Amino acid sequence: MEYAVIESGSIQYRVQVGDVITIENVALDDSKEVLFDKVILYYRDGEVQIGKPYLNIVVKGVCESSYKSAKKMGIRFEHKVYRRPLSHRQQQMKIKITEITERKG
C-alpha cells in the first residue's frame, strides 16, 4: 500500500492510486492531465518520507469532470432597513489519481 499527502491551493489531501478527489478549479491545458508537485508526505511499504517543505515526488491525475458546487446562501442585513440575499457557487473538479512517481530531472 502506498499513499501521499498532496497540497492543492491551501488544502491537503491524502491520496492513493485509484482515488477520486474533488478540488477547487485548476487551469488545465488540452490534455486534461493534472500534476501535483507539492507532495508533503509519502508512505510506501512501512517507510515514511516527510518533505521539508516538499518531496521530489509527483502525483499524476486525470480530470474526470468540471462542475459548479451546490449554491451556498447567505443574507446581509441591517436592522429594519436593508436586506440583501447573497449566494455563491464554487467551480470544482473531480480528479482521478493515476500514478505516484519520483520526479525526473
pLDDT tens for residues 37-57?
A: 999 999 999 999 999 999 999
pLDDT at 105: 66
Does residue 30 come out as left (phi exceeding 0), alpha (psi in the -120 to 50 range) or beta?
A: alpha
What is the CA 91 to chain-centroid distance, rounded? Answer: 12
Spell out the domain ranges in the chain: 2-102
The predicted model scores a pTM of 0.82
Could you tell me the CA-to-CA distances from 22 to 11, 34, 42, 93 in Å, in that order? 11, 13, 20, 6
Instruction: Give mean pLDDT, residues 11-27.
Output: 93
For residue 34, what pLDDT band results from cuts at 50, 70 and 90?
A: very high
